[in-house]
Every structure is written in structure tokens, then in C-alpha cells.
């Protein structure tokens, strides 16, 4: 055979296992010879027939991958669905906690001193930076595991597709159920964050702004402890449990909507009463962290009051919005 065919055979067998390389080379040469004889019998010139046969065989790297059962893609269709499901699940679970850790790191990295703007910038930067880093690591390691699984026959599952047998339980949730699950998760995350914050605030205070003579600067008023704090956490827990009950029942009923609205309304009214009485935010926080003129402080107070009422009104509206969506 010609040098061109020798080059093709060598290129096609270079990456196949050594034990089967000679057999594959012989088989490939025999196949080329048969196709070449057919073309020569049809009257094609030697050089043209040779090039036509090799062209039909295609890229030798692809042919070698077929001989050795070695995929040329990173994650093929056999495992792509499992890879995608696992990657999305881990990103949803791990990245938010990484962002929270980055935020806490940014908040506490420099102690309790520093300009308010710098502190906020540190928190945001720490959260974003750590979240991106963790997301890249999760994507890399999950993809690496599946790439090895795709290529290593020794650890490859002994079935046709995927990692485990597919069943209808693997079907994705509907858009409505995904939204409901997201609300439930967010409610319990908020409950955990609120609980952690109030106890941290009680023990160490907040870390924004300068701390005069090393003293603690709490955000919440001392009068809230312990009963008002307990009421607030109980209302937050009740709201989360109502959302969980709606998810378990697979629909948002009128009773759940009313219960959610009542819990929200009670919490908003109590918060406004304490806010107007000056028993919600600690005076030391306002004096030290927000040293602004009295007029500006009055404007800020009105704005915070509007925000509290606005959040309450929106939460009540959202409870009945979910009822309308569930009824469709």
C-alpha cells in the first residue's frame, strides 16, 4: 500500500490500546484494500481512488475513538441529563451558602471599625467573590467526575443510559411547584438568618461604622428582649410553616392565604407600634452609625416606616396572588 494509506492507518491506531493495535491495523488495511479494489475495478485512477476511500473513512481520530470506545466529547448524551441535574442541584444548594459565608467574612474581616460604605462594599464583594469561586469549583469537579465516568469502562455503570434507572419521579416540577418550593426554601432561610442575627446582635452588636471605646453597638432595642423577640421569631416561623403546608398540600388554599395574611398583618402592626414608640432600633445604633442632622433623620424615619408598611402590604397581596395562581 502507499505511504498515504500507511499514514492514515498509523494515525487511526496511534491512540488505541496497544494490545489490540495490530489487529485493528490489519482490519483497517483489509477494509481499505477492499474498497480500493472496488473503485479500481470501476476504472478510477489509483491516486483518485485512494484519496476517495480515505475521505469516506473520515478523520482518523474519530475512527480511532470508535475502535477504542473513547468519546471525543466532554459529556456525551449518555450522561448529560444526569450531569445537568446534579450540577444545577449543587449550585442551588452550595452557592447561596457560599455567598452568605462571603458576606459574613466581609462583615467581620476587619473587626468592628471602618467606614459604613467600605463595610458594605466588603460584604458585597466578599459574597460575590466567594460565590463565584465556589460555583466554578462545583462546575469543574462535577464535570470532571462525569468526564471520567464517560471514559473509564471499569467504573462505568452497566446500563444503557444515565447513572440510575429513569422513572417519572425524575420529571422536573411545574413552574408553579418550582415557585412554591422556592418560596418555602426562602422562608426557612430567612427564619434561620433572622434567628442568627438577633442572637448575634444581642451578644456582639452590629459591626457597621466606628465603635466608640470598643463598646457594643446593637441594632435592635434592648426592650425587645426577650418577649418581643420571641413573638417576632414565632411569627416568622409560622409564616414559613404555612408556606411549607401549602407546598405539601400541592395547592394554596383560601385558609392558608388568610392565615398568611393575618400573620403578616400582625407582624407589621407590631413592628410599626414598636417603631413609632422608638423601641425597635437601638438609639446607640442611630447615634453612632447614622450621625446625620435631625431633619434628615426625620426623613429617614418616615422612609423606614413606609418600607415596613410596604413590605407588609406586599406580603399580604402575595398571599392572595398565590391563591389566584393555585386556582388556575
Q: What is the pLDDT of residues 144-179, one digit of tens each?
A: 888 777 766 554 444 444 455 545 554 455 555 655
The pLDDT of residue 96: 80
| Whole-structure pTM value | 0.49
Q: Which residue has the cell 406580603?
A: 315
pLDDT at residue 204 in the model = 74
Sort 243 into a burial class: Cβ within 10 Å, 0-12 / 13-18 / 19+: buried
Helix (H, G, I), strand (E, B) or coil at 220: strand
pLDDT recorded at residue 52: 85
pLDDT (0 to 100) of residue 175: 54
Query: Which pLDDT does position 161 carry in this prediction?
Result: 43
User: How is the chain split into domains, by residue range?
Assistant: 3-67, 72-169, 173-328
Given this model, what pLDDT does residue 207 score?
56
DSSP codes of every residue in 233-282: HHHHHHHHHHHHHHHHHTS--HHHHHHHHHHHHHHHHHHHHHHHTT-SB-
Res 157: pLDDT:
47
Give the residue ranges of the chain where pLDDT is below 70.
1, 65, 68-74, 77, 101-123, 151-182, 207-216, 289-297, 299-300, 326-328
Question: What contacts 28, CB < 8 A, 6 or more positions away?
Answer: 9, 12, 13, 63
Q: Per-residue pLDDT tens for 45-58?
A: 888 888 888 888 88
Amino acid at each position: 500500500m502507499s505511504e498515504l494509506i500507511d499514514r492514515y492507518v498509523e494515525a487511526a491506531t496511534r491512540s488505541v490500546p496497544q494490545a489490540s493495535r495490530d489487529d485493528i491495523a490489519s482490519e483497517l488495511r483489509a477494509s481499505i484494500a477492499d474498497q480500493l479494489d472496488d473503485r479500481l475495478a470501476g476504472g478510477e485512477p489509483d491516486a483518485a481512488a485512494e484519496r476517495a476511500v480515505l475521505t469516506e473513512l473520515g478523520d482518523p481520530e474519530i475512527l480511532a475513538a470508535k475502535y477504542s470506545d473513547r468519546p471525543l466529547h466532554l459529556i456525551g448524551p449518555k450522561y448529560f441529563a444526569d450531569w445537568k441535574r446534579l450540577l444545577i442541584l449543587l449550585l442551588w444548594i452550595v452557592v447561596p451558602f457560599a455567598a452568605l459565608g462571603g458576606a459574613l467574612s466581609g462583615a467581620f474581616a476587619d473587626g468592628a471599625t471602618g467606614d459604613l460604605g467600605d463595610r458594605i462594599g466588603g460584604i458585597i464583594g466578599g459574597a460575590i467573590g466567594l460565590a463565584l469561586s465556589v460555583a466554578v469549583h462545583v462546575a469543574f469537579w462535577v464535570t470532571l467526575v462525569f468526564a471520567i465516568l464517560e471514559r473509564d469502562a471499569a467504573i462505568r455503570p452497566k446500563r444503557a443510559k444515565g447513572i440510575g434507572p429513569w422513572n417519572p419521579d425524575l420529571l422536573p416540577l411545574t413552574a408553579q411547584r418550582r415557585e412554591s418550593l422556592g418560596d418555602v426554601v426562602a422562608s426557612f432561610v430567612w427564619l434561620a438568618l433572622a434567628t442568627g442575627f438577633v442572637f448575634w446582635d444581642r451578644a456582639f452588636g452590629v459591626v457597621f461604622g466606628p465603635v466608640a471605646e470598643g463598646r457594643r453597638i446593637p441594632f435592635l432595642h434592648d426592650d425587645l428582649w426577650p418577649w418581643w423577640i420571641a413573638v417576632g421569631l414565632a411569627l416568622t416561623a409560622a409564616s414559613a410553616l404555612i408556606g411549607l403546608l401549602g407546598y405539601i398540600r400541592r395547592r394554596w388554599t383560601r385558609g392558608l392565604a388568610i392565615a398568611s395574611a393575618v400573620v403578616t398583618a400582625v407582624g407589621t402592626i407590631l413592628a410599626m407600634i414598636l417603631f413609632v414608640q422608638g423601641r425597635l432600633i437601638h438609639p446607640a445604633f442611630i447615634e453612632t452609625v447614622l450621625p446625620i442632622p435631625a431633619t434628615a433623620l426625620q426623613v429617614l424615619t418616615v422612609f423606614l416606616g413606609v418600607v415596613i408598611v410596604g413590605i407588609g402590604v406586599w406580603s399580604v397581596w402575595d398571599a392572595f396572588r398565590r391563591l389566584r395562581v393555585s386556582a388556575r
